[in-house]
Amino acid sequence: MVGEPSNHRLLPGTTRSLEDREARAVDFGRMTRQVPEAVATPRSVAEVANLVHRAGRAGIGLAIRGGGHSQGGRSLTDRGVVLDTTCLNRVQPVGSELVRAQGGARWGDVVDALKGARRLPPVLVDIGEATVGGTLAAGGIGTTSHRHGAQVEQVEQLEVVTGTGERIRCSPTQNAGLFNAVRSGQGQFGIITEAWIRLRPAGARFRQYELHYRDFERFVEDLDLLMESDRFDHLRAELRHRENLIVLLASNEYDELPDDDRALESLGYDELVYTRDTASVGRAGMYPSWSFSWLHYHPWRDWMLPWEALPRLLAQPMLPPDSMPRRAWSWIGLYPIGRGEVEAPLFMRPPQKRLISYSVLAVMGEFEREKAIELAKKLEDVDRELVGLGAKSYLSGSVGYSPEQWEQHYGEMLGQGIRWKREFDPNHVFHSADMPFGVGA
């Protein structure tokens, strides 16, 4: 069984250079450090299949890594090989309805490949460096999720290399079990080597309004109104407890100059701080690539809550306001979420139709490790409180759950996940120490 110190020399195309291993020893969260024994950077799907097949036979564990923008060590290993997917990055529009993107393509590259096409994936994440495979392994939510749900609900077909090294196409009608396992599957069942992603019409330009609210009840009323009236293409909010402020970014894509009065009609914000226009429609909702430093610690967690929990979320801070560092890009954020077209059974979310996502992402300096650990602990308490309000964790990385907490998280899907693990990764090639599907290994 996989998990023993590895004899990685049996794997073709791996490198043991310290530089390459160090480059994959931390993730964006930076709270965990694990130096892999070797690194593989396959350049073709055939190479991936060969690597996985041989790893299974040799008892070598693989950690799949895309952009490494997860946390808690989900894409790390110190007892095996990191399989870095980022050389599998081809993006190819197919007519006006679909784009084919390899699993290691970054979302920023997907947007760039569609430049001028006036089509975009229904949902984009706010970090252009995350990969297609990486966010499909989690869920993928963003500024348009109030309309379109999650990215996992927007893919038509996937190509996957399973734990036995088989290369398989899957969709809702073909190998549906595998299709359901790998979407939000946390890289536990197979490597997503290519995705056929639906496209939607996109405007030529993007207009964003930054609206400030000091009256939180009024914000809730307005968000309700915006969900009902569906008048904005993009919605995203930031909670700044220390300033007693909510910042709502509401945006529309447009071809003809939009009517601001109509867009903002009957909203009760305190201040319209700016109106911003850009022609970079796909990248408008993404952080600039220079925003974050990999030298910083980023304790963070994400959840999805029933819409009805929103007033409680805002009534009092989940964390003492001083716990959040006063650093640029530290944020407590909200995205409204609706349902997409194709259900993804491992994308665990509260059952309600309308949800709100809640994220806390702290940016802490390179000499603030102790403080970062303290905050990560507090976030575990916040998790328990939010789960008590009906939340599900959004697995943007490892969450350190106990077996009981996993049972609570996955409910009936836990048994199915265990069966899928046996079916698609019987030798436990894919790194799974912190996930609950590998029981009986």
Ligand X SMILES: Cc1cc2nc3c(=O)[nH]c(=O)nc-3n(C[C@H](O)[C@H](O)[C@H](O)COP(=O)(O)OP(=O)(O)OC[C@H]3O[C@@H](n4cnc5c(N)ncnc54)[C@H](O)[C@@H]3O)c2cc1C
Q: Which is nearer to ligand X, 59 or 299 (CB)?
A: 299
Binding stretches for ligand X (CB under 6 A) = 27-28, 64-70, 74-75, 85, 103, 125-127, 130-131, 133-135, 137-142, 186-187, 191-192, 292, 396-397
The CA-based angle 231-234-235, given to 5 degrees, is 90
Instruction: For residue 235, list its beta bridge partners.
Output: 250
Please give the Cα distance from 123 to 55 (Å, whole number): 34
Q: How far is the CB of 199 from ligand X (least distance, A)?
A: 19
Please give the Cα distance from 94 to 163 (Å, whole number): 29
Q: Which is nearer to ligand X, 85 or 208 (CB)?
A: 85
Q: Closest by alpha carbon to 375, among 67, 28, 29?
A: 29
Q: Which is nearer to ligand X, 158 or 267 (CB)?
A: 158
The encoded tokens of residue 2 equal 């996989």
Q: How far is the CB of 393 from ligand X (least distance, A)?
A: 12
Q: How far is the CB of 348 from ligand X (least distance, A)?
A: 14
Q: Which is nearer to ligand X, 144 or 269 (CB)?
A: 144
Q: Which is nearer to ligand X, 182 or 386 (CB)?
A: 182
- What DSSP element (H or E) covers 179? helix 176-182
Q: Quick check: 16 and 38 in contact, CB under 8 A?
A: yes
Q: Which is nearer to ligand X, 74 or 147 (CB)?
A: 74
Q: Which residues contact 396 (CB under 8 A, 6 or more apart)?
A: 70, 71, 138, 300, 301, 302
Q: How far is the CB of 367 from ligand X (least distance, A)?
A: 21
Q: Which is nearer to ligand X, 27 or 37 (CB)?
A: 27
Q: Quick check: 299 and 376 in contact, CB under 8 A?
A: yes
Q: How far is the CB of 202 from ligand X (least distance, A)?
A: 18
Please give the Cα distance from 339 to 234 (Å, whole number): 15
Please give the Cα distance from 84 to 103 (Å, whole number): 10
Q: Quick check: 182 and 240 in contact, CB under 8 A?
A: no
The encoded tokens of residue 299 equal 């304790």
* Helix-, strand-, coil-residue percentages of the chain, each rounded to 5: 30, 25, 45
Please give the Cα distance from 185 to 308 (Å, whole number): 28
Fill in the amino acid letter for 349. Answer: R
Q: How far is the CB of 291 from ligand X (least distance, A)?
A: 7
Q: How far is the CB of 231 from ligand X (least distance, A)?
A: 22
Q: Where are the beta strands (DSSP E) in 58-153?
A: 61-65, 80-84, 91-94, 98-102, 119-120
Q: Which is nearer to ligand X, 263 or 441 (CB)?
A: 441
Q: How far is the CB of 16 from ligand X (least distance, A)?
A: 20
Q: Quick check: 348 and 152 in contact, CB under 8 A?
A: no
Please give the Cα distance from 286 to 266 (Å, whole number): 28
Q: How far is the CB of 138 from ligand X (least distance, A)?
A: 4
Q: Quick check: 87 and 133 in contact, CB under 8 A?
A: no
Q: Which is nearer to ligand X, 267 or 355 (CB)?
A: 355
Q: How far is the CB of 70 from ligand X (least distance, A)?
A: 3
Q: Which is nearer to ligand X, 30 or 269 (CB)?
A: 30
